[in-house]
Amino acid sequence: KTSVNDSNLSQTQAQKDAADQNFDYMFKLLIIGNSSVGKTSLLFRYADDSFTSAFVSTVGIDFKVKTVYRNEKRVKLQIWDTAGQERYRTITTAYYRGAMGFLLMYDITNQDSFYAVQDWATQIKTYSWDNAQVILVGNKADLEDDRLVPAEDGQRLADELGFQFFEASAKDNINVKQVFERLVDVICEKMSESVNGEPSPLANHKGPSLQDTPPDKGGCSC
Ligand code: GTP
Ligand code: MG
């Protein structure tokens, strides 16, 4: 009877997603990296397919929920968007422990953000679960003319750190979905390895429960 506009529709969908208990797995993911590299923008592009060129620096931490279908499983993603500013470090590192996967971002037009990747990787090692998976993301790939970090440097650093690597653009929607889906897939691969007799992360008291699933679901064929 009443007409519903697009923004109402998408809000309703977001609320449904957040409340939805019908999923096979829940993964907590964290996006980290220097301020202004585009963490919030990447998340908004992925979750809402929106982008704004205005910079509103994140205060503390925030999250969005999105459910994806991978290998016939419903995977509910709780994606935490952290503030890159140093002054929030104590708050944000408190969230590392529960995360199964990280997107570690830098900006291809900003050398400092790339130099900081090593420090962010050390933070992950210090505060997170040992088996947490990490993807290195060089964002703002649309700004080719302003590029200061060659893609090869990003790839080399990712290889050294044992991370997968993507360049992406939240603005032009390049590799955004791919980055998140790859992270979900590497977490799933790690889970099935563990189930198949590898040392179980469940026995690792530093970390969260590996299978954060509803009580009636068990096993992993993810
Ligand atoms: P903090 O919350 O302070 O940690 O920053 P952030 O990493 O969340 O950065 P944010 O997403 O707020 O983006 C910072 C600025 O970069 C904004 O002005 C965005 O519009 C811009 N930006 C983000 N992603 C891209 C991109 O892919 N390309 C271009 N050209 N600009 C981008
Ligand atoms: Mg932000």
We report the CATH number of the domain holding residue 87 as 3.40.50.300
Contact, 20 vs 76, CB < 8 A? Answer: yes
- Assess whether pLDDT exceeds 90 at residue 148: yes
In the chain, the N- to C-terminal Cα span, in Å, equals 42
Q: Give this prediction's pTM.
A: 0.85
Q: Could you tell me if residue 99 is inside a domain? A: yes
Ligand 1 pocket test, pick from 34, 35, 41, 109 with the greatest ligand atom count within 8 Å of Cβ, gives 41
Tell me, in angstroms, the distance from the centre of ligand 1 to residue 17's CA: 25
**CA separation for the pair 193, 160 (Å, rounded):** 22
Matching residue, tokens 């590299």: 37
Indicate left, alpha or beta for 103 from its phi (over 0: left) and psi (-120 to 50: alpha). Answer: beta
Q: How confident is the model at residue 220 (pLDDT cuts 50, 70, 90)?
A: very low
Highest mean pLDDT among 33-37, 192-196, 218-222: 33-37
Q: CB-based burial of residue 193 (10 Å sphere; 0-12 exposed, 13-18 middle, 19+ buried)?
A: middle
Mean pLDDT across 78-95: 97
Q: Could you tell me if residue 181 is inside a domain? A: yes
Mean pLDDT across 53-74: 95
- Tally the domains of the chain: 1
138 in contact with ligand 1, CB cutoff 6 A: no
164 in contact with ligand 1, CB cutoff 6 A: no
* β-bridge mates for residue 32, sequence order: 104
Name the residue type at position 201.
P
Strand extents, DSSP E, the chain:
25-33, 61-70, 73-82, 101-107, 133-139, 164-167
Q: Could you tell me if residue 166 is inside a domain? A: yes
2 in contact with ligand 1, CB cutoff 6 A: no
- Assess whether pLDDT exceeds 90 at residue 77: yes
Report pLDDT for 206. 40
Q: Could you tell me if residue 131 is inside a domain? A: yes
- Assess whether pLDDT exceeds 90 at residue 83: yes
Q: CB-based burial of residue 21 (10 Å sphere; 0-12 exposed, 13-18 middle, 19+ buried)?
A: exposed
- Assess whether pLDDT exceeds 50 at residue 219: no
Q: Could you tell me if residue 96 is inside a domain? A: yes
Report pLDDT for 58. 97
Mean pLDDT of the chain: 86
Tell me, in angstroms, the distance from the centre of ligand 1 to residue 137's CA: 13
Q: Could you tell me if residue 55 is inside a domain? A: yes
Residue 9 CA from chain centroid, whole number: 25
Please identify, by atom number, the ligand 1 atom nearest to the C-alpha of residue 172: 27
Tell me, in angstroms, the distance from the centre of ligand 2 to residue 77's CA: 18
pLDDT in tens, 108-135: 999 999 999 999 999 999 999 999 999 9
Q: Could you tell me if residue 201 is inside a domain? A: no
Residue 39 lies in domain? 20-195
- Assess whether pLDDT exceeds 80 at residue 56: yes
- Assess whether pLDDT exceeds 50 at residue 215: no
Q: Bigger pLDDT: 27 or 214? A: 27
Q: Could you tell me if residue 208 is inside a domain? A: no
